[in-house]
Amino acid sequence: MESAPIRAAEFFAGIGLVRTALERVKGAQVQVVWANDIKQAKRDAYAANFPDAEEHFVVRDIREVEASDLPAGIELATSSFPCIDLSLAGNRRGLSGEQSGMFWEFTKVMKGLSPRPPVILLENVYGFATSRGGADLAAALESLSKLDYSLDVIAIDARHFVPQSRPRMFIVGIQKNMLPSRVRKGLPAVTDSRPAWVQAIHGKHRQALDMHYMDLPPLPEGPQDLDGFVEVDVAASLWWGEDRVDAFVRSLSDVQRARFETLLAGDATSYRTAYRRTRRGVAMWELRKDGIAGCLRTTGGGSSKQALVQLGKGQISIRWMTPREYANLMGAHEYKLLAGTPNQQLFGFGDAVVVDVIEWIGNNYLLPILRPTCVE
């Protein structure tokens, strides 16, 4: 007999990549019945891909959202709350910051729900674990535990699925009275999805809080280059002119220049991504050592944008990465780019989750909890 759809609510929904991932989960249908974000441009991108957004997407500051605004029967609540105050590249104000402090608004809504969703999934940067010496993560775990959730922490770099280095940590909460037999108590072993620092989090909090873990399969190897993710046919006008390319090359440090020259002289054409950095007050370009992209970011300035460098056979071409390439690197090859300006599209993807990562968590963690008969 076909199981009932898993009813999900998507907090900080952005352009809808969590929903994109959940709808790919094998064995059970996931139905997003409520979604929220504060930015109209993100809602427009979401609606261009999910026409039913008119029925359930609420454009509103989460501080104005009440538990009564959500429909009944939510089984899964996801929250990719802002990372800017937690990121090592941000201001490190932690959960007291204006942006990342929206975590508390999420917990406020969860507290008001009766019954609460059996499962919650939170996503943020690795910096969450070290913010204020670990005090912010401890406070977050404690607050979720008081809402009757048993908690697990995992860490996944998206490079296991797409050619982009994008490390993120996840908190999975399960209502304590609904823990399935497959979850374990105690200290989890060190694995690729639970490195030593995650194991240490479990060790630090498992006595005072309800913590659990679940055995997970190894993460896949992941692609090692950008083939299949780069747009081959783009307008010639997107490629930089000779003067701009020369300025790029002149800005390279000696180490970077050696890397550049090796690739330029190669017998095959290869791609590298590059960021502009400020070193000792001087703007410089830096190529990645490997063939994958750096972490895509929200476009807020020149240093946040990623350039694509094509090198080999004595030829060099450079341009900014396109929204389609950002979509591909976020695992959203089929995503429709129908709404917003190119810069808004880049911002939306830079602020999102990698589809393949959430799909993997959905298949290997969420589905066995919420619909165990679908995986047995």
Q: Other CB atoms closer than 10 Å to residue 128's CB: what's the count?
A: 26
Spell out the residues 6+ positions from residue 99 whose beta carbon is closer than 8 angstroms to its own: 82, 83, 84, 85
Mean pLDDT of 17-26: 95
Query: What does DSSP assign to residue 166?
Result: -
Q: How confident is the model at residue 86 (pLDDT cuts 50, 70, 90)?
A: confident
Give residue 250's pLDDT: 95
Give residue 364's pLDDT: 96
Q: For 314-337, how does the pLDDT look when each residue is reduced to its tens digit (9 = 90+)?
A: 999 999 999 999 999 999 999 999
In angstroms, the CA 157 to CA 363 distance is 17
User: What is each CA distance from 344 to 218, 237, 301, 340, 350, in whole angstroms?
Assistant: 35, 20, 13, 6, 10
- Where exactly does CATH 3.40.50.150 map onto the chain? 6-223+353-374
| pLDDT over 70, % of the chain | 96
Tokens representing residue 64 in the block? 């104005």
Q: For 123-159, how does the pLDDT look when each residue is reduced to its tens digit (9 = 90+)?
A: 999 999 999 899 999 999 999 999 999 999 999 999 9
Output the CATH code of domain 6-223+353-374: 3.40.50.150
Q: For 291-317, how does the pLDDT look when each residue is reduced to its tens digit (9 = 90+)?
A: 999 999 876 544 578 999 999 999 999
In angstroms, the CA 193 to CA 124 distance is 15
SS3 assignment for 236-258 = HHHCCCHHHHHHHHHCCCHHHHH
What does residue 98 show for φ and ψ, rounded to 5 degrees? Answer: -65, -35
Q: How confident is the model at residue 31 (pLDDT cuts 50, 70, 90)?
A: very high
Predicted confidence (pLDDT) at residue 279 exceeds the cutoff of 90: no
Mean pLDDT of 349-371: 96
Give residue 91's pLDDT: 56
Q: DSSP string covering 324-352, please?
A: HHHHHHTT-TT----SS-HHHHHHHHHTS
Q: Which residue has the higher pLDDT, 246 or 100?
A: 246
Predicted confidence (pLDDT) at residue 360 exceeds the cutoff of 60: yes
Predicted confidence (pLDDT) at residue 204 exceeds the cutoff of 70: yes
Give residue 89's pLDDT: 60
Q: For 258-270, how does the pLDDT look when each residue is reduced to its tens digit (9 = 90+)?
A: 999 999 999 999 9
Give residue 92's pLDDT: 64
Peptide bond into 115 cis (omega under 30): yes
Mean pLDDT of 212-241: 96
The mean pLDDT of the chain is 93
In angstroms, the CA 303 to CA 260 distance is 19
Mean pLDDT of 244-265: 95
The sheet carrying 6-11 orders its strands as 57-59, 30-37, 6-11, 76-79, 119-125, 167-175, 149-157
Q: How confident is the model at residue 88 (pLDDT cuts 50, 70, 90)?
A: low
Give the global pTM. Answer: 0.95
In angstroms, the CA 204 to CA 186 distance is 11
Spell out the residues 6+ positions from residue 200 whose beta carbon is closer than 8 angstroms to its own: none
Spell out the residues 6+ positions from residue 278 whose beta carbon is closer than 8 angstroms to its own: 284, 303
